[in-house]
């Protein structure tokens, strides 16, 4: 975050002295720095989010991405149009990033056990919920077990579907609307901001709802993950197919809001499932699955260029919509069939050998008594 914020602050300066090359260099450095943050989030959640509150804490944290975008865009526009000029937006957000780092240093901790100001009651609640009382922190990452784990491959497939679908919606829908429907998405807030505002609000709702259903035993944790991931994939897939044939502007707006806002339900599906199966290595798992998903998602815009050789040809766009819908649905089916909501044996707090040693010790103690 320090490198990310500092790079943001330097963009106006580098643009003056080094032109577009300086700006691109700063953006590349920001991307590299942000890459470290992505796996850190589930790693921290795996150590801090009790199982009873896992879904809503997870979705609340990730909703910050949507809220940050919604808030920053008008602020950037206001600062850029004011007497301060466009550099002010980079100074403001870069400065806020550095201030955040100060709070992080003094208020954060790697785990409840290392937090200096946590109450003993809260610490015991979190540790007992996550089974951290006898955690072994020097365990090596069980790479072979991870990559031969069917539940983890289910998560990877879920990540691929979500990344492909969201990338297609963000990068290609504006082109489709402007070239095929003559809707200028940048000048119409109904199409540009409304879907993301609804998505941000709904993302905050999905988490508490998922936890409530689990807590009240309406659903098991596994069924909850299946329901929310399915809703976040199947409904947007249907919306995309319908969108390819929709003609009215209001209908297009409703379908966009439906596709983008329901996509957020997958945060209570594959996304939080990293922590379900492996609280200890959730950061490692998320880094790999997110990396695979985002890398393959790059193919979405490339495939559009290959298939949609005529940008105003609606029939060619329909092919892309159908492909995106099929990927959404197929990856969701794989995830729903193969997922597990239980902590996997290779992530257990106590190794099998330790359990055997403890059992033998108890047996010997019983004999002596």
> What's the pLDDT score for residue 198?
84
Domain-embedded: residue 186: yes
pLDDT higher for 174 or 84?
A: 84
Q: b vs e for 138-172, b when ≥16 Cβ sit within 10 Å of the residue's Cβ?
A: eeeebeeebeebebbbbbbbbbbbbbbbbbbbeeb
pLDDT digits (tens, 9 = 90+) for 324-339: 999 999 999 999 999 9
pLDDT band at 133 (very low <50, low <70, confident <90, very high): low
Residue 365 has pLDDT above 60, yes or no: no
Each as own residue / partner, the long-range contacts of residues 249-253 (CB below 8 Å, 24 or more positions apart, any chain) are 249/181, 249/183, 252/177, 252/181, 252/183, 252/191, 253/190, 253/191, 253/194
pLDDT band at 358 (very low <50, low <70, confident <90, very high): very low
Q: Residue 314 belongs to a domain with what CATH number?
A: 1.20.1250.20
> What's the pLDDT score for residue 351?
46
pLDDT digits (tens, 9 = 90+) for 170-207: 888 888 887 877 776 656 556 667 787 888 888 888 98
Using alpha carbons, select from 336, 50, 47, 53 the residue that is nearest to residue 210: 53
Domain-embedded: residue 357: no
Using alpha carbons, select from 327, 279, 19, 329 the residue that is nearest to residue 130: 279
Query: Alpha-carbon distance 109 to 118, whole Å?
Result: 10
How far are the Cα atoms of 21, 65, 158 from residue 267, in angstroms, in the given order?
Answer: 36, 12, 10
The DSSP symbol for 140 reads P
Domain-embedded: residue 127: no
Tokens coding 257:
């809001």
Domain-embedded: residue 123: no
120: which residues sit within 8 A by CB, 6+ positions away? none
Q: Look up tokens 């009382």; give the residue.
A: 133
Q: Lowest mean pLDDT of 19-28, 42-51, 286-295, 306-315, name the range.
A: 306-315
Domain-embedded: residue 133: no
Query: Alpha-carbon distance 311 to 192, whole Å?
Result: 20
Domain-embedded: residue 196: yes
pLDDT higher for 160 or 360?
A: 160
Residue 367 has pLDDT above 70, yes or no: no
Residue 280 has pLDDT above 90, yes or no: no
SS3 of 315-335: the string is: HHHHHHHHHHHHHHHHHHHHH
Mean pLDDT score across all residues of the chain: 86
Domain total in the chain: 1
> What's the pLDDT score for residue 172?
83
> What's the pLDDT score for residue 356?
47
Tokens coding 86:
């466009």
| Boundaries of domain holding 54 | 2-111+142-347
Domain-embedded: residue 304: yes
Domain-embedded: residue 135: no
């Amino acid at each position: 975050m320090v490198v990310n914020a500092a790079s943001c602050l330097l963009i106006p300066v580098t643009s003056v002295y080094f032109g577009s090359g300086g700006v691109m260099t700063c953006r590349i450095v920001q991307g590299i720095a942000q890459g470290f943050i992505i796996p850190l989030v589930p790693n921290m959640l795996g150590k801090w989010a009790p199982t009873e509150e896992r879904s809503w804490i997870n979705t609340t944290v990730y909703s910050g991405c949507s809220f940050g975008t919604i808030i920053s865009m008008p602020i950037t526009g206001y600062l850029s149009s004011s007497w301060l000029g466009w550099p002010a937006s980079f100074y403001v957000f870069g400065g806020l990033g550095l201030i955040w780092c100060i709070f992080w240093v003094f208020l954060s901790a790697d785990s409840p056990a290392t937090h200096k100001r946590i109450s003993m009651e809260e610490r015991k609640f979190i540790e007992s919920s996550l089974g951290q009382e006898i955690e072994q922190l020097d365990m090596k990452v069980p790479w072979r077990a991870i990559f031969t784990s069917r539940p983890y491959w289910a998560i990877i497939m879920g990540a691929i579907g979500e990344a492909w679908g969201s990338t297609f919606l963000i990068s290609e829908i504006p082109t489709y609307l402007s070239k095929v429907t003559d809707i200028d998405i940048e000048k119409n807030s109904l199409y540009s901001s409304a879907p993301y505002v609804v998505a941000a609000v709904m993302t905050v709702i999905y988490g508490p709802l998922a936890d409530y259903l689990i807590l009240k035993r309406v659903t098991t944790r596994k069924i909850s993950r299946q329901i929310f991931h399915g809703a976040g994939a199947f409904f947007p897939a249907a919306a995309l197919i319908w969108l390819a044939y929709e003609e009215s502007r209001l209908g297009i707006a409703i379908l966009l809001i439906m596709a983008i806002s329901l996509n957020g339900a997958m945060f209570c599906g594959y996304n939080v499932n990293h922590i379900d199966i492996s609280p200890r290595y959730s950061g490692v798992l998320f880094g790999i699955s997110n990396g695979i998903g985002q890398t393959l998602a790059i193919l979405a815009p490339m495939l559009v260029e290959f298939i949609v050789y005529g940008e105003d040809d609606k029939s060619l766009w329909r092919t892309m919509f159908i492909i995106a819908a099929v990927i959404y649905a197929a990856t969701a089916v794989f995830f729903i069939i193969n997922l597990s909501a239980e902590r996997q044996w290779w992530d257990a707090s106590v190794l099998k050998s330790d359990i055997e040693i403890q059992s033998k010790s108890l047996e010997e103690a019983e004999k002596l008594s």
